[in-house]
Chain A
Amino acid sequence: MYTTELKDKSQKQAATPLSAEDPERLAAFEARVAADDFIEPKDWMPDAYRKTLVRQISQHAHSEIVGMLPEGNWITRAPSLRRKAVLLAKVQDEGGHGLYLYAAAETLGTSRDEMVEALHSGRAKYSTIFNYPTLTWADIGAIGWLVDGAAIMNQVPLQRTSYGPYARAMVRICKEESFHQRQGYEIMTTLAKGSAEQKRMAQDALDRWWWPSLMMFGPPDDNSPNSAQSMRWRIKRESNDEIRQRFVDATVPQAEAIGLSIPDADLKWNEARDAYDFGAIDWEEFYAVVRGEGPVAKERMAARVSAREDGRWVREAALAHAEKRAVRLAAE
């Protein structure tokens, strides 16, 4: 995903208001997007579109990278060779997905370093779900089943998002993630059918991950500040509440099939709506986690920051070596 101008001065400032954009170019842009045409890196785009994309894609990338940590926590303790290989491959995929997404965002004129810097300084956000701890092996099952299941529902529509590099990254990601949810559900199934201790582990993981998973779709539609504009620009293709409902409807029967119960007393099938009604989400908790008050938010950030700091000498050494070699080659 190619980029030419890494340093774009406009990135440092607030987005130009749409009213200040050239009306003719803006109209042409909006018409293209409305006609489902793709926007490519060098095309003219409103500053606010560029900034919204950088924010959304980099948040998505950060989520993949931070998301390696809760599952990474169990690779060394996976209970069989097969589970170990699968989990390592899955965590590796997440690193790859973060990489694709950073590259897509880089085409908009922001470097990976700048994005990572924004994450580490707390200016950039990542999915709230990764601020919860993985306590037992069943959490690995719950994450694959629920968190990846929710992520897939969010991501599938993004394969048709209006920004070409983002859409292409999402096509690759969706293809690769197809095994993630299945392996999680397989773990849950095995535990749910296992010993009493294993079943307890599985139910406890579902109890803890259910509500945070529902929060992954973002605030309710009537309280989602950027949604309308993003929908119009085809950066987002479906509303938070629509996707959340679809997730609930898909997941409840999966829980029933393996004998686990969803921790929601208000959950019941609504014949008239042809969908499940479900209980109120604790949005206060969601906003607290967004603010960085999640149970392991500090640990997650500390791990990322120390990986970066501890690796600095390695990155510097590789550049120094490349320069030395270039000088030697030039002298030959």
Chain B
Amino acid sequence: MSKEWPLWEVFIRAKNGLAHKHAGSVHAADARMALEAARDTYTRRMEGVSLWVVPSVSITASDPGEAEALFAPAQDKVYRHPTFYTVPDGVKNI
């Protein structure tokens, strides 16, 4: 079997002001082709105004086995949220 075209991850900015969001992936031999394949596959219904393509192998992902260690410690840091604090009734603009 001959070599397969590499896989690329596709990110779309739906409109200016929004961040790029993961939409899916395509196979392409080069970056330019990946952009065009992303355009032809994922923006056929006016889904976006900007595209990113990233080789899938370039993505480093966190390990779900470490999810507890990575994300659980944030759970008891409620003081990072404004609702943690009391403000006297009637005080505005804070």
Q: How far is the CB of A301 from chain B (nearest CB, A)?
A: 18
The answer to whether residues A113 and B1 also contact, given A4-B61, A96-B44, A318-B33 and a CB cut-off of 8 A, is yes
Contact check: which of B3, B4, B33, B63 meets A112 at CB < 8 Å? B4
Q: Which residue in chain B gives the minimum CB-CB distance to A6?
A: B7
Note all chain B residues with C-beta closer than 8 A to A42.
61, 63-64
In chain B, residues 1-49, which have Cβ atoms closer than 8 Å to a Cβ of chain A?
1-5, 7, 9, 22, 24-27, 29-30, 33, 41, 44-45
Does A12 have its Cβ within 8 Å of any Cβ on chain B? no
* Interface 0/1 of A42-76, CB less than 8 Å to B: 11100000000000000000000000000000000
Does A325 have its Cβ within 8 Å of any Cβ on chain B? yes
Contact, CB under 8 Å: B64 / A40: yes
Give Cα A21 to B87, complex, Å.
54
A-B contact count (CB 8 A): 63
Contact, CB under 8 Å: A316 / B2: yes
Contact check: which of A3, A4, A40, A99 meets B41 at CB < 8 Å? A99
Contact, CB under 8 Å: B5 / A3: no
Q: How far is the CB of B65 from chain A (nearest CB, A)?
A: 8
Q: How far is the CB of A32 from chain B (nearest CB, A)?
A: 11
In chain A, residues 1-56, which have Cβ atoms closer than 8 Å to a Cβ of chain B?
1-4, 6, 40, 42-44
Note all chain A residues with C-beta closer than 8 A to B29.
315, 318-319, 321-322
Q: Which residue in chain B gives the minimum CB-CB distance to A172?
A: B24
Does A117 have its Cβ within 8 Å of any Cβ on chain B? yes
Note all chain A residues with C-beta closer than 8 A to B25.
1-3, 103, 106
Note all chain B residues with C-beta closer than 8 A to A1.
9, 24-25
Interface residue range, chain B? 20 to 34
Q: How far is the CB of A123 from chain B (nearest CB, A)?
A: 15
Does A312 have its Cβ within 8 Å of any Cβ on chain B? yes
Give Cα A82 to B78, complex, Å.
58
Does A111 have its Cβ within 8 Å of any Cβ on chain B? yes
Note all chain A residues with C-beta closer than 8 A to B2.
312, 315-316
Contact check: which of A40, A92, A103, A321 meets B24 at CB < 8 Å? A103
Q: Which residue in chain A gives the minimum CB-CB distance to B57?
A: A4
Contact, CB under 8 Å: A321 / B30: yes
Contact, CB under 8 Å: B24 / A44: no
- Chosen A-B contacts, 30 in total, with CB atoms closer than 8 Å, are A1-B9, A1-B24, A2-B25, A2-B56, A2-B59, A2-B61, A3-B25, A4-B56, A4-B57, A4-B61, A6-B7, A44-B64, A99-B24, A99-B26, A100-B24, A103-B24, A103-B25, A103-B26, A106-B7, A111-B4, A112-B4, A112-B27, A113-B1, A176-B45, A318-B29, A318-B33, A319-B3, A319-B29, A322-B29, A322-B30
